[in-house]
Amino acid sequence: MSKGLLLAALLALAVPWDSAADALPPRHVVVTDWPALPASHVLGQCTGVGVDSRNRVFVFHRSGRTWMTPFPTEPIAAPTVSVIDGATGKLLGSWGAGEFIMPHGLSLDGEDHVWLTDVGRQQVFKFTAEGKLLLTLGERGVAGADATHFNLPTDVAVLADGSFYVSDGYRNTRVIKFTAAGHYDFEWGGKGAGPGQFNLPHGVAVDLAGRVIVCDRSNARLQVFDPKGKFLAEWKGPQIGRPYGVSVGQDGHVFAVDGGDPPLTQPDRSKVAELDAEGRVVDRFGGYGKGPGEFLLGHDVAVGRDGAVYVADTGGHRVRKFIRTLVP
């Protein structure tokens, strides 16, 4: 084993998780009357969620369409992005009608731009908060593994300088870095279970130290990299499960939602894990089910500047809001 791989393995083994977290009451509780949408506005399979600087919650959903393969070729006719007031849960607007085939990931950047991935269109998009298209990457409907094509891209994470990472995704098992203008910079990954390899990189986020955190979904772990893609650590275990989506709060804590493996029969799955910057689990909340604070398939997670946590539930066709309790 090379010195680099040996160091990576030692770092991975050195990262603990706090096994006492499950023995304590959750530090987050669901807000049962959120959202407060009009009866005429029905969410579809919710796949992406993000919160902007004005506490607006953006939800990417499939608006009546369900996951199917092969993917349809026609776009969803109804709006697929719903904008909800984070405080009140009231609908502020919607857009995206006639644009997307199979919505997947949603991210917000520091300027409140909305980044979306569509696995049906094989593309990545940057929009204004009002739905004006600013940037498109990839060739519509054409899969590939080069610098200008994706193969089922899943998520985006944007840096302060506007450059960004794309997790690509279901087929290419790589993470790509692009410049702010959308030009290919570099990539890393490949199929496998070793350090820096992936088996379905499904979500991606950047923490306060600039580390890149990737949901290596089918390897049931979070992988942590430096900005250039150098492997730093692996966080995994029963408290993390099979992470689908990841987000970083203002305090540097990392939130990952365990989507499990359908059909979900384990009541301990489909929870959100809150981890500190060293990868120790400090809270878990949620669970599988149809009740308040439960998910049928937790697909993505986002943290507002006020600390509220939002979970996109694909199976339940809904988005859930959690707030921190006073439990120490």
Residue 220 has pLDDT above 70, yes or no: yes
Q: Measured on CA atoms in the order 121, 175, 127, 246, is the torsion positive or negative?
A: positive
6 confidence band (pLDDT: 50, 70, 90): very low
Query: 278-290, pLDDT tens digit by residue?
Result: 999 999 999 999 9
3-state secondary structure (DSSP) of residue 45: coil
4 confidence band (pLDDT: 50, 70, 90): very low
Mean pLDDT of 207-226: 98
The pLDDT of residue 46: 98
Lowest mean pLDDT of 84-88, 92-96, 188-192, 323-327, name the range: 323-327
Which is higher by pLDDT, 6 or 134? 134
Which is higher by pLDDT, 268 or 79? 79
The pLDDT of residue 2: 43
The pLDDT of residue 128: 98
Mean pLDDT over each residue of the chain, to the nearest integer: 92
CB atoms within 10 A of CB 36: 11
Instruction: Look up the pTM and report it.
Output: 0.92
What would you report as the CA-atom Rg of the chain, rounded to the nearest whole angstrom? 18
CB 165 within 8 A of CB 182: no
Residue 7 has pLDDT above 70, yes or no: no
Mean pLDDT of 190-215: 98
The pLDDT of residue 250: 96
Residue 16 has pLDDT above 70, yes or no: no
Domains annotated for the chain, with CATH where assigned, are 3-324 (2.120.10.30)
Residue for token digits 């500047």? 305
- In 3D, which of 205, 219, 185 has the Cα closest to residue 48? 205
Q: Where are any strands of DSSP class E within 86-241?
A: 91-95, 103-108, 114-118, 123-127, 133-137, 153-158, 164-168, 174-178, 184-189, 201-206, 212-216, 221-225, 231-235
8 confidence band (pLDDT: 50, 70, 90): very low
Give the Cα separation of 25 and 153 in Å (integer): 37
Residue 143 has pLDDT above 50, yes or no: yes
- In 3D, which of 316, 309, 308 has the Cα closest to residue 288? 316
The pLDDT of residue 188: 98
Percentage of residues in the chain with pLDDT exceeding 70?
90
Q: Is 54 exposed, middle or buried (0-12, 13-18, 19+ CB in 10 A)?
A: exposed
Residue 9 has pLDDT above 70, yes or no: no
The DSSP 8-state label assigned to residue 26 in this structure reads P
The DSSP 8-state label assigned to residue 6 in this structure reads H
Mean pLDDT of 99-103: 98
270 confidence band (pLDDT: 50, 70, 90): confident
Mean pLDDT of 75-94: 98
Lowest mean pLDDT of 23-37, 157-171, 251-265, name the range: 251-265
